[in-house]
Structure 1
Amino acid sequence: MSPPLPERIGLVIRRRREALGVSQEAFAEQVGMHRNYYGSIERGRKTMRLDTLEKLAVGLGTEGWRLLKEAGQL
């Protein structure tokens, strides 16, 4: 059985951020988010709103639906 969706999305976001070579703190600042809140998203502890997903997607250079699609494949 696969992990819950928030955990899978968090994993996708973390992998993409790391692929960009950006620290968690620097990325959170870049997208205008508190580091603790952003960290909880990566760990799958927070369920985010769609506008937050879109903000993170833009910061990662992609689209929100692509992050959801990738998370659905885990």
Structure 2
Amino acid sequence: MQDETFASHIGSAIRARRTELGLSQERFADAILMHRAYYSSIERGEKNITLATLLRLADGLGVTPSSLLATAGY
């Protein structure tokens, strides 16, 4: 975990939850009104998301932001 960034940890947690729900990236991104390419970059850990984006993602995934952070190890 030392070499990985917050962005990659939270991206993995988001991907895991989306996969649990059986949603494709495209379907989920459409559901939360986010461009699929941008959403994909979040999952890959290429974007440092804002608190507002974290809230939006958590809401779309049906979880709390704190549960996503806990899953990511924070």
Unpaired runs of at least 5, structure 2? none
Give the Cα separation in 2 of the matches to 1:69 and 1:21.
Answer: 21
Matched residue, 1:63: 64
Give the Cα separation in 2 of the matches to 1:37 and 1:46.
Answer: 8
Matched residue, 1:4: 5
Matched residue, 1:15: 16
Give the Cα separation in 2 of the matches to 1:71 and 1:2.
Answer: 14
Give the Cα separation in 2 of the matches to 1:70 and 1:3.
Answer: 15
Give the Cα separation in 2 of the matches to 1:21 and 1:2.
Answer: 29
TM-score (norm 2): 0.93
**Residues paired across the two proteins, number:** 73
1:26 aligns with 2:24: no
Matched residue, 2:37: 36
The structural deviation recorded for 1:5 is 0.8
Matched residue, 1:49: 50
Deviation string, structure 1 residues 4-24 (Cα, Å, up to 9, x no partner): 110010000001101100000
The structural deviation recorded for 1:2 is 5.0
Unpaired runs of at least 5, structure 1? none
SS in 2 for 1:72: coil
State, as a whole percentage, how many aligned pairs show the same letter. Answer: 49
